Structure 1
Amino acid sequence: MTGNVNHGVNSLITEDSVVLYWDKPENGPAVEYRIYVDGDLAGTTGKTHYSIRNLQADRGYRVEVRRWTGSGEDGIARLYLRTQAKRKRLDITRAPYYALGDGRHMNTEAIQRAVDDCGPGETVYVPAGVFLTGALRLHSDMELYLEKGAVLQGTDRVEDYLPRIWSRFEGTEMECYSSLLNLGVLDHNKGYTCRNVVIRGMGTIDGGGKKLAEHVIASERERLKNELAALGDRISECEKPETISGRVRPRLINLSNCQNVRISGLTLKNGASWNVHMIYSDGIITDNCRFCSEQIWNGDGWDPDSSTNCTIFGCVFCTGDDAIAVKSGKNPEGNRIGRPSRHIRIFDCRSQCGHGITIGSEMSGGIEDVRIWDCDMSRSRCGIEIKGTKKRGGYVRDVSVRDSCTARVLFHSVGYNDDGGGAEKPPVFERCKFENVRITGEYLEDQDGWKPCVAVELCGFQEPGHELRDIVFRNIRLGKPGSADRQAVSLQFCENVIFDHVSTG
C-alpha cells in the first residue's frame, strides 16, 4: 500500500485500485464531489471518499477531486498517482502449499508457510473456498488477498490459538490466546514491530465465534478456580462472573505495535471477542468492510486502543457490542502507561444492530481529537456514548460529531468492569461538539425491539473540577414525530453546556 496527501486528499493505492478520502470541511453548504481520471469524469459522490477500480498495474494516472456547490466547481486536489506493479501471487492451494478449501481439513501450517514466504511485491492469495485454520502470524511488507467466495475460517478449538501472546484486553496488559490473525509484538516501551501490511479482497475472515469463546472461558475458569474463589465478593466489581476468565479470548485480528496497516473490502465476523483490535499502533486504516458478530459477548467491531491516526470509513456493523470503541487503558495500569488514543477519524459508517460508537470505558491513558461525520447510529442501543468510571482518571476531550444520526447521546459513569485500583482523581470529559445531528430518542434493544429513551443524557462527576464541561449542541433535532412529550435532555454535574438551534419531533 502506498499513499499520497494533496490538499487533505489521501490515497490508498494497490495494483488495480485507488481509494481517495479526505476530511469534511468544517463549514459550508452540502456539496457534490466530482472525480476526474486523466481528464475524464470517473464519478460523483456526496461522501468524503471515492474508490477508483479496474486500473492497470504500474501505470501513472492524473486524478483530480473537484467540489461542486451548485454555482460552480472548485478544485480541491490534483494528484499524480502510480498504481503498484503487478504482485506475484502465492496461491495457498498450489505448490508448495496445497491448502484445501473444503471446510474440513486444517490448513494452518500450509497458510503460514505461504505467509512466511511472502516478500515485498508479493501477495498471499486465498481463492474461493472455506479454509479451516487456527492462529496465523503476519509480518511486515506483505499483502493478504481473499478472493470473492474465500473464507478464512477459524476453528473453535482452544489449542489452535496457542501459544498465548502478550496482549491487552479491557485495558489491562496480559497473556491472551493468539488471535486468528496476529500482527506485531506488544510492548508499550518500544516502537513499531510490524509495518506496511494490506489485508484486503472480497472474501470473509470468520472466527471461532461463540463456541470458541465458551471453550476458552471454561478452560480458563478451571485454570483459575482457586484465584477466582479467593476474590469472594470482589468478583462483583467485574462486568459478569466470567469477565476475568473471558479476558484471555482471542480477537479476530490483533495488531500490536503496528504502523501503516490497511484492512479493506472484507467481511469480518465472529471473533471470540473483539474483531479488529489495534494496540499502541499508528496509521491503521479500515475501509469498505462489513462487521458481523451479533451473537458474541464483547463482540466489538473496531477498537483503537492507545493508538493514533486511525481511520475507518464506508463500513457497516451488526455487532454483539460496540460497533466502534475508542480506548486507552484501564486504571491503574492505563494511568501509568499514559498512552492516549488521538487523531481518530470515523465517517460514513452505519450500524444495523449493536451498541453504536463508544469512547471508553477504558480511557485512563486519555482520548482526544476524535472526528465523526456522516454516520448513522440510529439502529443501535447506545448511539454515541462517552463513558468511564470514577476510578479511571484520564480524560476525553475534543470530540466532534457532525452531519449524523444517532439513537441517543450519552456522557456518563458506568458501574461495570470496575476492578483494579483507582486513580487519584476522576476523569475529565470536556470540549465536545455536536452539529447537524438527528437524535431520535429511541434505541434498538438487542432482542426486544425499539424502546424510548432520553435523547441526550449528560452526566459528569460530582467532584469540583470534574464536571462535564464545554459541550456544544448546535442545529440539533431531537426525537421523532409524536415524541415531543418525552423528556429529551437530562443534565447532571455539568458546566457550560450550550444548546443552539434545537428543535424537537
Structure 2
Amino acid sequence: MKLPFSGLPARTGRRAVFHPLALVLVAGGFFLVGGGRASAREAGNRPPVISVWVNDKQVPVIEHWVGGRLNCTYAPVTLPGSAEVEVEVPGGVRHWTMSPEKCDVPTRMEHGRLKFTMLTSRYMVVTVNGLRLLLLADPPEDELPEGQKVLDVTAPPYNLDRSGAKHGTAVLQKACDDAGALANEAVVMLPPGLYTTTGIHLRSRTQLYLAPGAVLQGSDDAESYPDYPTTPGKTGTAALVKVDGVEHVRIFGRGTLDARGLALAGAASSREGQRLLASCVVVERSRCVTLEGVICKEATAVALPVTHCQDVAMRRVKVINDLSSEDRVDGIRLAGTQRALVEDCLVHTTEDAFAVTSPEDAVSEQVVMRRLIALTSARALRCGPPAHSALQRIRFEDVDIVHCRDAMNVMHGEGKGEWGEIVFKDIRVENCGRNGIVIQLLDGGGVKGVRFENVSFKQFRPGFLRGLGADHCIQGVTFAGLEVAGLPVVTAEGSGLKVGEFVEDVRFDD
C-alpha cells in the first residue's frame, strides 16, 4: 500500500523509493505551513538565521524560539543515499564545528557557505557562528503494509481541520478508537497539516501515522485539558498521546509531536499557581509498543516516559527541547521496563538525555540503548534514581555525547534495589562540563558489575566512585580501553577518578 500523500513512492521489493527532490520537499515542506507557523509566531517573523541546501535544493529549516531567544534550528530531510549539503548564514560563515566528530566529515568554504558531503542518512549537529543546526537526515520510509485500511483524519467521516485553528481531540480520538476496533487492520493517518489536541488515548492494536509535515500539537489553553489541576498551587501533567494498559501499538512517521509545554506552563503559572506540564508520548503498563521516526518537541515533563512496560522499541526518534528551561526535562526515560531497545535516536534537552530507573515493584532489565546522540544541560546517560527495584543487564552502546554536564552516571538513590550488569561501550564524549563518570550509592542496596569499554573523553574530566557502607558497596568496576584527550589511561589517577570508601575491585585493563 503506497503512502497516501503527495510524493508517493514506487514499490521496488520491500522498500519505498522516492525521487531525492521529492524526499526533501516531502520531509520538510509542510513545516512552512504547519511547524513553521509556530516558529514564525515565536520569532516575530524574523528573517531566517540559517539556510540549508541539499543537492542544490533549499530545504526548510525550523527555528525553535523560546521567549525571544533562539534555542536551536533543525532541518528534517530524507536521503536515499549521499548528498551535497550547503549551509549559509547572513554575513557568511566565519567558524563552525561538526558533530559527531567520529564521522570526520570533510568540510570546505565556498563563497561564504559551508559545504560538505553526507555519504549516508545520519543525524549531524552543525554549529555555525554559534548557531546550532540539527541536521536530521533519515532514510526513505517503508511503505504501509498491504491490506491495511487507512483512516485519513481529514477525509470523511472525520473531516478534521488541518489548519490547527479548531480543537480536534474528539475527532482524533474517534479515529483512533475506530482503528483499535479493527484490531490492527487499520492505520490512523495524519496527512501534512496542523492538528490541535488536549491529548488522545490509543487502544490496543492501534497504529498512528504522522506523515512528513504533519504536526500534532497541544492546545495553548491549559484549562481546556482534563489534567489541569483545579486546586491552586498544584501541578498537573498532560500528554499529547497516552498509551496505557494496552498492547501492540505503533506510532510512526516523520511528523512532529509538539507538546507546546512552554506555552502551557506560562499560561498556567499566572492562574493562582496552577501549572500544567506536558509530555509528548506517555507509555504505561503496556507491551509491544513501537515509536519510529517522529520528532518530539517542547516537553516540560519527561518527553518520552515509559513505565512498567515490556517489549518496547524506539527507533530514529528525535527529542528537541529547550536547553535552558527552568523545568528540568528528561528526554527518553525507561522505568521498570523489560526488553527495551532504543536506537538511532537524538535527544536535545535540559536534564537526563537517556535514562533507566527502577521504581517500586518493577524490575528494569534487558535494556539496550545504542547509536545515540545526546545534547543536554545535565546528564547524558544515566541509571537511576529511583532505585527501589532491581536494575540489571542495561547496555549503553555507540553513543556520541556532544554536550553535557555529566556524561555517564549511575546514581543509586531513593531505594534499596540491587543493581548489576551495567555496560557503557563505545562512548565518545566531546564536551563535558563537570563529571565524566559517577557511580554513587545514596540510600542502600548495592551496585555490582559496571563496565566501561572503549570510552573516550576529548577533555580531562574528573569523576568519582562512592559507596554507602560496609553492607552497601560498589563492587566490580572495570575500565577497558579508556582514553582521555587522545591518550590511553590505565589508572584511576590518570583518568581523574576519585575512588572513595566502600568501593571494591576496580580494574583498568589495557
Q: Give the shorter-chain TM-score range.
A: 0.5 to 0.7
Partner in structure 1 of residue 454 of structure 2 = 436
How many pairs were matched up? 364
Q: CA deviation digits over 1:395-434, x for unaligned, max 9?
A: 32110111221341111257xxxxxxxxxx6131220111
The Cα shift of 1:346 comes to 0.5
Counterpart position of 1:457: 464
**Cross-structure match for 2:482:** 476
1:360 aligns with 2:395: no
Post-superposition Cα deviations, 1:70-126, rounded to whole Å, max 9, x if no partner, equal xxxxxxxxxxxxxx3242111111112122222322111111111111122111110
Written as runs of structure 1 = structure 2, the 5 A alignment for 1:181-220 is 181-184=241-244, 193-215=245-267
Paired position in structure 2 for 1:65? none
| Structure 1 stretches lacking a partner, 5+ long | 1-13, 18-42, 58-83, 166-173, 185-192, 223-245, 415-424, 443-452
What CA distance in whole angstroms lies between the structure 1 residues aligned with 2:217 and 2:373? 25
Corresponding residue SS for 2:382: strand
Q: Answer whether contact 1:369 1:397 (CA < 8 A) is retained.
A: yes
Give distance in 2, aligned partners of 1:109 and 1:397.
46
The AA in structure 2 aligned to 1:180 is L
* Equivalent residue, structure 1, for 2:214: 150
- Structural RMSD (CA): 3.3
Q: Distance in 2 between matches of 1:221 and 1:490?
A: 43
1:500 equivalent in structure 2: 509
Are 2:426 and 1:403 equivalent residues in the alignment?
yes
User: Structure 1 residues 44 and 379 mapped into 2: Cα distance closer, same or farther (>3 Å)?
Assistant: closer
Which of 362, 366, 370 is 1:347 aligned to? 370
Q: Which amino acid aligns with 2:498?
A: S
Superposed displacement of residue 500, structure 1: 1.6
Q: Secondary structure at the match of 1:98?
A: coil
Report the CA distance between 1:294 and its aligned residue.
Answer: 2.3
2:105 paired residue number: none
Deviation at 1:369, TM superposition (A): 0.6
Q: Give the TM-score taking structure 2 as reference length.
A: 0.65
Which residue of the partner structure matches residue 277 of structure 2?
Answer: 249
SS in 2 for 1:94: coil
Aligned 8 A contact 2:352 2:376 in 1: no
User: Structure 2: which 5+ runs fail to align?
Assistant: 1-12, 17-118, 123-137
2:90 matched to which residue of 1? none
Whole-Å Cα distance in 1 between the matches of residues 390 and 351 of structure 2? Answer: 22
The letter of the residue matching 1:498 is R
Residue in structure 2 matching 1:387, options 394, 397, 411: 411
Q: Secondary structure of 2:340's partner?
A: strand
Partner of 1:327: 357
Match of 1:229? Answer: none
Letter of the structure 2 residue corresponding to residue 457 of structure 1: F
Question: C-alpha distance in 2, partners of 1:54/1:426?
Answer: 47
SS in 2 for 1:374: strand
Equivalent AA in structure 2 for residue 360 of structure 1: G
Partner amino acid, structure 2, of 1:213: A
Q: Say which of 252, 261, 265 aligns to 2:293.
A: 265
Q: Residue in 2 aligned with 1:489?
A: 497
Residue identity matched to 2:192: A
Q: Distance in 1 between matches of 2:204 and 2:480?
A: 45
Of all paired residues, the percent bearing the same amino acid is 20
Question: Which residue of structure 2 lines up, in the alignment, with residue 99 of structure 1?
Answer: 160
Instruction: Give the distance between the partners of 2:191 and 2:121, measured in 1 at CA.
Output: 32
Displacement of 1:464 in angstroms is: 0.5
Alignment CA distance shift 1:175-1:367 (3 Å):
farther
**Separation in structure 2 between the aligned mates of residue 374 and residue 149 of structure 1, nearest angstrom:** 30
Whole-angstrom CA distance in 1 between matches of 2:362 and 2:272? 29
- Tell me: CA distance 1:279–1:175, structure 2 relative to 1, closer, same or farther (3 Å): farther
